[in-house]
């Protein structure tokens, strides 16, 4: 069974700090990796994707991928209360098959 694992949290960080969200996956053949943000009562919103080992930066967000360790992370710099949401890790395991993790709840305290 192909799996995507995330710590459910909640992860609580003070405003201005770096929030670090982690995800592991079981299918070594996975090619594309995604981070979605979901506010309460809203649908998931794609914020980052990465497909090569290393870091990918977009504004305050950095996605990190280590295929050897089957590990994906999302760093949020200068965290803001508006970043408080559930963050879903998703992994495309080939073709049209994408598996979503259960999500990590993030709280940013003002």
Applying CB under 8 A, the site for other proteins has a residue count of: 19
To other proteins, the closest distance from the beta carbon of 68 in angstroms equals 20
CA distance linking residue 75 with residue 58, whole number of Å: 10
Residue carrying structure tokens 């309460």: 40
Of residues 51-80, those binding other proteins (CB under 8 A): 51
44 touches other proteins by CB under 8 A: yes
CA distance linking residue 4 with residue 48, whole number of Å: 17
18 touches other proteins by CB under 8 A: no
Widest Cα–Cα separation across the chain = 42
Binding segment for other proteins among 18-26, 55-63, 66-74, 101-109 (CB under 8 A)?
Answer: 101-109
């Amino acid at each position: 069974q192909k799996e995507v694992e995330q710590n459910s949290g909640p992860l609580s960080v003070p405003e201005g700090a770096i929030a670090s969200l982690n995800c592991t996956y079981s299918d070594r053949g996975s090619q594309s990796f995604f981070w979605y943000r979901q506010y309460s009562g809203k649908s998931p919103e794609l914020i980052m994707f990465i497909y090569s080992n290393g870091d990918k930066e977009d504004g305050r967000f950095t996605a990190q991928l280590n295929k050897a360790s089957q590990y994906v992370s999302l760093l949020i710099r200068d965290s803001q209360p508006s970043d408080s949401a559930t963050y879903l890790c998703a992994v495309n395991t080939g073709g049209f098959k994408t598996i979503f993790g259960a999500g990590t709840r993030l709280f940013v305290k003002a």
